[in-house]
A and B are shown apart, each in its own frame.
Chain A
């Protein structure tokens, strides 16, 4: 039975697209077939993060409108055989994402993929609501910052009230907290909310912590999801999160600041 995973947050710029690209890649690296869909109509950028922007011919809205078949619109990932990308349209209006249209496309995708990862746009408007409506699982991407935590909390309210599962009184969406852009140094100095505080405030189980890392920018420059950079802390953190999602017990990492030498500690950097 295939699963629909929404990557959501309310707030923009917290790492949803970075997470969608790496998470879908991670699932494919583990041998599952996966597709990742960009719901950000008008502002697509998942194709850039996945490095397939030059192969976009048709998009999600073309498929919904019957102007292209799914086969025509899906782009095969260059690195992973069992991973595909469904890009968002660049120009159409957001109303193009109808509940019925999205539902039909997802049903068709369920026939050939184990996991369908939905990269949600920011906000709580149509695109974001459609990205989460059909979800079975939700990755709630949160930064250690007040506005991000509050927006995540609002999204949790929407997942529990406006999703298909909520409307039908079915088993609720399984929610997972993914804290990203985390800086253990600053948490240590009392300047940043700690992961335990965030978990307590939002009240959902923690799937992983992705540290703030330069590798993410480099990965986006190159168009290679950061999970492929297995030397980087953020790449490793995403691989851990995928493993936990698949039921493995993996201890949390990157929660402590890197140890500095004695002199550095006294005199600062």
Chain B
């Protein structure tokens, strides 16, 4: 380590950024992988419908299927931008 590096030490270490990003990526990929086959397709179609009304991107749509005892709960979370730029008046 050189002098300059020594003073740079307080900067956020890139390895910890890498780890954090990986935790998020893997969690998302596992959810897709472990869910039913139709989940990615469902997600795409939902996104298509929602984006007819508001501008969002894929990261803003969260679809999960969770088992809750005897039930399966399909949870849809859409984070709308603020203020949401409406493409046209809601029907």
Q: Does B14 lie within 8 Å of A201, measured CB to CB?
A: no
Is B13 in contact with A266, judged by CB distance below 8 angstroms?
no
The answer, among A145, A150, A193, for a CB contact under 8 Å with B26, is: A150
B22: CB under 8 A from chain A?
yes
Chain A residues whose CB sits within 8 angstroms of the CB of B26 once the complex forms: 150, 153, 201
Known: A187-B15, A190-B14, A190-B15. A146 touches B22 (CB 8 A): yes
Chain B residues touching A, range: 10 to 19
If A150-B25, A153-B29, A190-B14 touch, does A201 touch B19 (CB 8 Å cutoff)? Answer: yes
B70–chain A nearest beta-carbon distance, Å = 25
* Contact count band on A: 20 to 34
Q: Is the interface of B mostly helix, strand, loop or mixed?
A: helix
- Asked whether any CB of chain A lies closer than 8 Å to the CB of B21, the reply is yes
B23 at the interface (CB under 8 A from A): yes
- Which of B3, B5, B16, B23 lies in contact with A201, CB distance below 8 A? B23
A150 to B5, CA, bound (A): 29
A63 at the A/B interface (Cβ < 8 Å)?
A: no
Q: Does B33 contact A (CB under 8 A)?
A: yes
Interface of A is mostly: helix
Q: In the docked arrangement, what's the CA distance between A230 and B14, Å?
A: 34
Question: If A153-B26, A154-B29 touch, does A268 touch B18 (CB 8 Å cutoff)?
Answer: no
Question: Taking the complex as formed, is A191 at the interface, i.e. its CB lies under 8 A from any CB of chain B?
Answer: yes
The reply to whether A189 and B19 contact each other, CB–CB distance below 8 Å, is: no
A194–B14 Cα distance when bound, in Å, is 12
* Cβ-defined partner of B1 (8 Å) among A146, A161, A189: A189
Query: In angstroms, how far is the closest chain B Cβ from the Cβ of A174?
Result: 20
| 27 CB-based A-B contacts, threshold 8 Å | A146-B18, A146-B21, A149-B22, A150-B25, A150-B26, A150-B29, A153-B26, A153-B29, A157-B29, A157-B33, A189-B1, A189-B13, A190-B13, A190-B14, A191-B14, A191-B15, A192-B15, A193-B15, A193-B22, A194-B15, A197-B15, A201-B22, A265-B1, A266-B3, A267-B3, A268-B3, A268-B5
Residues of A within 8 A of B (CB): 145-146, 149-150, 153-154, 157, 161, 187, 189-194, 197, 201, 265-268
